[in-house]
Structure 1
Amino acid sequence: MAHLRFLIPALPAGTPDGTLFLTGEHRGWSSDPEGWTFEQNGEGAMLDAEVPAGTLLGVKVRLRRPDGEVLEEGDPWGGRAPAHTLTVLEEGGVFPLDLQGWQAPDDMPARPSRSAPPREEWTLPAPWGEQTVRLWWPSGHDGRELPLLILHDGQNVFDEAPTFSGQSWQAGEAAQALADAGHPCLIAALSVNAERSRRYVPFPIDLNAYDPGADEYLDWIGAELLPALEQSFGRVAPSRRAMAGSSFGGLVTLYAGLRNPGGFGTLGVLSPAVWPDDFAVRRWMEGRAAPLTRVWLDMGDHEAHTVGQAAEMVRLTHDLAEQLRLLVREVHVTIGEGHWHDEAAWAARFPAFLAWWLRGLNGPARLGHDASPVEADPVDLGLRP
């Protein structure tokens, strides 16, 4: 066991009375303070804990008020904040926790945006209600007849204001850099709400109440979204269309590409969550093929609860790549060093995916099957430091 000292240097202004405690993946995000309470000292607080070496911790601070209400740390505007992450070493150590504020769950956070917002937002009718489509195209273009990328989790990919935890993919900046290098594209990002597990998981699991909606979602993309985009921006050949997403968004992207082999020329499968229904997608893939499709497949090397489990996730990613290579035209694998399962990691890998897709439209991709994005020449990819 490693001894850790979690140190809150200063509590946010206006912190109410109550019991401060630590929760996280190692506790199943429990709201029971027992065994994990902080000792308040002056403006800050401290917690000593024993944690197995090799644990990959994602943690947050919560506060239980005297009336039983539980608050979670948030950003300075009352929105959700990303988890603090830590690899537990045998020697342990002090782990500072910088708290910015407390969530105000009943209010929409007035979080400012640092990154480029979409050019337009559409609201289209869908079987599940209104669907927000966030559209971006590069400066100097009108968006017409450009290669098309459909992104899942559209609330997270452009500006920070609507994001889940204040982190975005900075997709507009990445795409503008590629456009400046001669590789423009149109991005249509589809926002999702609390029904994410139903919309993106094609197999029955408890998170979607055993009522998957991925087929309905993908049918809508083909029958409603693509015609609407064609009417406004012109027709794009399937070979010049791509779909991409992360986690469950990566799962539904992989499923979409093999479900409709002629629909998309490129798939961006980032950190795919392929575990639902005992890895059902691996069995479902058997006997299916998309021989003209290119697949970008990636994973971070910190995407699990322990260092050992994370290494197993990397191995499983390579196994998935080998299975895919029998079914599609090309598979590119990237393993993100030091990357966790979060928006920051996907933002870091997204520019290389984008360059690989767009450059591949004009011939073989310069990156090899198993190269890391950092091995590519950034000037050649149209990226800048």
Structure 2
Amino acid sequence: MILYKLVAVAVLGLATSVVGQRALAQTTLHLTSLPVTTPAGSVIYVAGSFNNWQPAAPGYALARQPDGSYQLTLGAEITGPQEFKFTRGSWETGEAAAGFQPLANRQANLGPGPAILTYQVASWQDQRPGAVVASPKAHTLAANVRVLTDSFQLPQLPGRVRRVWLYLPPGYSQAGRQRYPVLYLQDGQNVFDDATAYAGEWGVDETLNQLRASGQDPTGCIVVAVDNGGDHRLDEYSPWVNAEYKKGGEGDQYTNFLTLSLKPYIDAHYRTQPDAAHTAIAGSSMGGLIALYAGLKYPQVFGRIGVFSPAIWFAKDSILSYERRRPAPR
């Protein structure tokens, strides 16, 4: 059994208010002041519910203005209740309240009309007296894991590419003609490497290697892990749009990518057992939701499904209705 290490973080937010409007924009975040100790040349980012809480997400850096303020206009699709914080590119260098006290998530309910939300950053966490800035996390992936490519194209979602990780079981290169079952995992950033994981890696490679070494898994398996799409994670991991978050709706394209593009490539280039009985798909949270959907949609491809703490809430009525309409596998 693959062991996951999942960490959930719950925080409260601080309400903000709309203080202006902009004729041609939807919502603009405007930082009017930063601590005087902010290092010169710092890039200021916003991380929140609209970009999977990535502290240095491309496209979410605020632009410095001639008056020394910073601002970013969010995409028109970002509406409704949102939570966020400002960072200098990492959570270690995220914002803090006055006196370097912990700061709850900022909150705003973004309406359909143009608006400017104005904020100030009181302090930075890493500048707290006695604070130690964490060193970059060390890579922890096992020797039999590698990045297959960092730019696998998703033809079903034109213009998007994805990093794909590959785990080959110990002894694969010496096994001659032996073929292996395959497990496809979502949120690939979290699967093998602590340096890329959101809240600690899942330890899939170490666990499988230990099972093999102890004789509990004499044959082994291939693992293919696909990074999530960052800003597009919620969109790609649900076929249905969530009315509150206004995200989702690209799950069909994403599962088609897995089934019609990625799996054929893996089967053509590695010694797989390509039938459904030896092909599994799994994921956690939103990744669990899309793994469940993929298994229901393509039972002739994915004969086994691993669903861990699935985000059923995101598409509850839709996924349950879909499941009831699917014929039971034979």
- Return the TM-score normalized by structure 1: 0.49
Question: Mapping of 1:1-385 within 5 angstroms?
Answer: 61=103, 68-69=120-121, 101=133, 110-116=136-142, 118-122=145-149, 123-127=151-155, 128=157, 129-142=160-173, 145-165=179-199, 167-180=200-213, 181=215, 182-192=218-228, 193-206=230-243, 209=246, 212-236=249-273, 237-292=275-330
Supply the distance in 2 between the matched residues of 1:101 and 1:211 (Cα, whole angstroms): 36
Deviations 1:18-75 (A, max 9, x none): 9xxxxx99xx85769xxxx9795xxx96xxxxxxxxxxxxxx65699xx81377758x
Name the amino acid aligned to 2:191: V
Contact 1:133 1:190 (8 Å CA) reproduced? yes
Name the amino acid aligned to 2:262: L
Cα deviation for residue 101 of structure 1 reads 4.2
Cα deviation for residue 158 of structure 1 reads 0.3
Deviations 1:144-193 (A, max 9, x none): 6211000000011101111224x100111011122222140100000012
Go from structure 1 to structure 2 and tell me whether the alpha carbon gap of 1:265 and 1:99 turns closer, same or farther (over 3 Å shift): farther
Contact 2:152 2:164 (8 Å CA) reproduced? yes
Supply the distance in 1 between the matched residues of 2:298 and 2:142 (Cα, whole angstroms): 32
Deviations 1:263-282 (A, max 9, x none): 11210000001012453211
Contact 1:115 1:172 (8 Å CA) reproduced? yes
Deviations 1:115-167 (A, max 9, x none): 426224223211332121100112222386211000000011101111224x1
More helix by share: 1
Name the amino acid aligned to 1:134: W
Deviations 1:208-266 (A, max 9, x none): 74551111011111111111101111342210011000001111111111111211121
State the partner residue of 2:59.
Answer: none
Name the amino acid aligned to 1:133: V
Go from structure 1 to structure 2 and tell me whether the alpha carbon gap of 1:71 and 1:153 turns closer, same or farther (over 3 Å shift): farther
Deviations 1:307-357 (A, max 9, x none): xxxxxxxxxxxxxxxxxxxxxxxxxxxxxxxxxxxxxxxxxxxxxxxxxxx
Fraction of identical pairs, as percent:
26
Deviations 1:336-382 (A, max 9, x none): xxxxxxxxxxxxxxxxxxxxxxxxxxxxxxxxxxxxxxxxxxxxxxx
Helix, strand or coil at the partner of 2:324: coil
Name the amino acid aligned to 2:121: E
Name the amino acid aligned to 2:153: P
Helix, strand or coil at the partner of 1:251: helix
Unaligned 5+ segments in structure 2 are 1-34, 39-47, 50-81, 87-95, 107-118
Supply the distance in 2 between the matched residues of 1:176 and 1:213 (Cα, whole angstroms): 35
Supply the distance in 2 between the matched residues of 1:73 and 1:290 (Cα, whole angstroms): 53
Aligned residues: 221
Helix, strand or coil at the partner of 2:165: strand
Supply the distance in 2 between the matched residues of 1:39 and 1:137 (Cα, whole angstroms): 50
Unaligned 5+ segments in structure 1 are 1-14, 19-23, 46-59, 75-97, 103-108, 293-385
Contact 2:140 2:192 (8 Å CA) reproduced? no
Helix, strand or coil at the partner of 2:283: strand
Go from structure 1 to structure 2 and tell me whether the alpha carbon gap of 1:119 and 1:17 turns closer, same or farther (over 3 Å shift): closer
Name the amino acid aligned to 1:191: D
Name the amino acid aligned to 2:222: L
List 4+ stretches of structure 1 deviating above 6 A. 15-18
Supply the distance in 2 between the matched residues of 1:281 and 1:267 (Cα, whole angstroms): 15
State the partner residue of 2:41.
Answer: none
Contact 2:183 2:222 (8 Å CA) reproduced? yes
Contact 2:97 2:103 (8 Å CA) reproduced? no
Contact 1:244 1:253 (8 Å CA) reproduced? yes
